[in-house]
């Protein structure tokens, strides 16, 4: 069954209560729950139909996670929005936001994947980084300390 709104999507992603997709021209749309601002449209109001992510950004990839979402723009800048209690937005804070904020560290990601409270990405050079919740060591940095900025996955050249 088609998504309401007459949009044509080309891809990346279902989260915990929300979903995000990219149109053929790289505009990110999200729909569903926006309790934490995970729809990225500047609001915490749920939407049963797709709403555009604010900021006029053109995305190459998008990933919906557990109360947050992230996307990589066509110029390889990563932005995240939504829940941030464990630093999962990667902006160096734990402040929730309903609009995209750039991930710190000046890394150029080829792709990102949002999980339940954390994000991992692979740079254009093939290096893995993760940030956010780390209670089970899921960031791969050899600790169980949450990180509000990307940390390199251990054991890589």
pTM of the model: 0.94
| Residues in the chain, pLDDT under 70 | 1-4
Domain ranges within the chain, ordered by starting residue: 18-114
Q: What is the pLDDT of residue 22?
A: 96
Q: What is the pLDDT of residue 8?
A: 86
Q: What is the pLDDT of residue 154?
A: 95
- Strands 59-64 and 68-73 come out as antiparallel
- Taking CB atoms within 8 Å and a gap of at least 24, the contacts of 107-113 are 107/78, 107/150, 108/76, 108/77, 109/72, 109/76, 109/78, 110/61, 110/72, 110/76, 111/61, 111/72, 112/61, 112/63, 112/70, 112/71, 112/72, 112/78, 113/63
């Amino acid at each position: 069954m088609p998504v309401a709104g007459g949009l044509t999507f080309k891809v990346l992603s279902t989260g915990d209560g929300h979903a995000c997709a990219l149109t053929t021209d790289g505009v990110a749309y999200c729909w569903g729950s926006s309790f934490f601002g995970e729809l990225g449209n500047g609001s915490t109001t749920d939407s049963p139909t797709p709403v555009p992510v604010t900021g006029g950004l053109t995305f190459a990839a998008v990933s919906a996670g557990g109360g947050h979402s992230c996307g990589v723009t066509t110029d390889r800048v990563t932005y995240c929005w939504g829940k941030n209690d464990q630093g999962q937005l990667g902006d160096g804070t734990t402040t929730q936001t309903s609009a995209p904020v750039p991930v710190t560290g000046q890394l150029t990601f080829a792709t990102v994947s949002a999980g339940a409270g954390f994000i991992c990405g692979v740079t254009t050079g093939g290096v893995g980084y993760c940030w956010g919740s780390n209670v089970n060591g899921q960031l791969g940095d050899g600790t169980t300390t949450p990180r509000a900025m990307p940390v390199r996955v251990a054991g890589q050249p």
